[in-house]
Amino acid sequence: MTAKSQKSNLTLIERLKQFANQSANMLNLDVEMAVSMSQPIKAAVMIIGGGEDKVQDRKILRAFVENSGGASSRIAIIPSASREPEIIGRIYHQIFTELRAEHIEVFDIRERLDQTPEEVEAQLAGITGVFMTGGDQLRLCALIAETPLAIAIREKTQKGKLVLAGTSAGAAVMGYQMIAGGGSGDSPNKEMVSMSIGLGIIPNIIVDQHFHNRNRMARLMTAIAAHPDKIGVGIDEDTVAIFEQDHMMRVMGRGTVTIVDPAEVSYSNQLWVSDTAPLTIHNLRVHILSAGSKYNLAKRSPLSPTI
């Protein structure tokens, strides 16, 4: 890292802090009072659509710290999706410090590590929450997918011993099938989306992020047409889909979570048309879910708010 980029990085953090303090003052709040009480870990996978509020209420990041144990949370940040892991790691370190996590460290992984199970166990000892930043999901998977560390994080998360959050690229990797890239502004066609393999935290979903913000409905439908055994989960910016242990997903934040469910698809031309030909897909079921909504992933069914 050059001296110049270190300086601009510090400046960015200072400006973020100033903005946070100003915002808090305006709201007659005290940032330093934003203490989460020490509380038991509430295991969850928190899939954030990118662009989460980092300077004002920080509702989603605060919920991550609270789920991870509040004042007794012990957070690991994995900034490896980013080309600027040091900068982005430091930004989230600062935020989680202000949110009063007990312990924060950055796993600044820049090459695939061949750790022993014992080394991984020692590295994760006491960690209650892992946060994966944005960047490039292919980069993140190239660095950690199926390494001993990623396998251990997956196992601990699936056993309810860890809160795992990811935003943007860190969200994209949550399924087994992963959207690596794609486009918009065209009739749905196979060239619109490129797929790869993610971390398989929740294997039966395909995540898309910055969802309505970047007009990604067509690409998620295209991805789902190719993988009709999965459920599409499109998450808007500053919005989180929180998957808990009971197969329930609930929505928090400013936008929506869109479910694209192919369970009833009765016909699709996906298998035999060319990559650029328009797709035909009959009977997709779509739910648009805003804050407070719940969805049962096992039953493939949204819960009516009156229930």
Given the residues 68, 73, 82, 168, select the one marked as catalytic: 168
Subset of 244-303 contacting a copy of itself (CB under 8 A) = 254-256, 266-267, 269, 273, 277-291, 293, 302
Q: Is 73 in the site for a copy of itself (CB under 8 A)?
A: no
Of the pair 2, 306, the CB lying nearest a copy of itself is at 306
Distance CA 298, CA 65 (A): 27
Q: List strand residue ranges (DSSP E) for 54-102, in order.
A: 74-78
Of the pair 166, 234, the CB lying nearest a copy of itself is at 234
State phi, psi for 181 to the nearest 5 degrees.
Answer: 180, 180
Subset of 6-45 contacting a copy of itself (CB under 8 A) = none
**Closest distance to a copy of itself from the beta carbon of 149 (Å):** 34
Residue 287 falls in the annotated catalytic set: no
Residue 237 falls in the annotated catalytic set: yes
Distance CA 151, CA 164 (A): 13
Tell me which DSSP letter residue 267 carries. E
Angle between helices 85-98 and 3-26 (to 10 degrees): 30
**Closest distance to a copy of itself from the beta carbon of 297 (Å):** 15
Of the pair 59, 285, the CB lying nearest a copy of itself is at 285
Size of the site for a copy of itself (CB under 8 A): 40
Distance CA 281, CA 7 (A): 52
Given the residues 93, 237, 268, 293, select the one marked as catalytic: 237
296, 248 in Cβ contact below 8 A?
yes
Subset of 184-243 contacting a copy of itself (CB under 8 A) = 184-188, 212-215, 217-218, 221, 236, 239
Output the six-digit token pair for 38.
């020490």
Output the six-digit token pair for 188.
């749905």
Residue 168 falls in the annotated catalytic set: yes
Identity at 153, one-letter amino acid code: I
Q: Counting beta carbons within 10 angstroms of the beta carbon of residue 42, is it exposed (0 to 12), middle (13 to 18) or buried (19 or more)?
A: middle
Residues that bind a copy of itself (CB under 8 A): 184-188, 212-215, 217-218, 221, 236, 239, 254-256, 266-267, 269, 273, 277-291, 293, 302, 304-305
Which residues form the catalytic set? 168, 210, 237
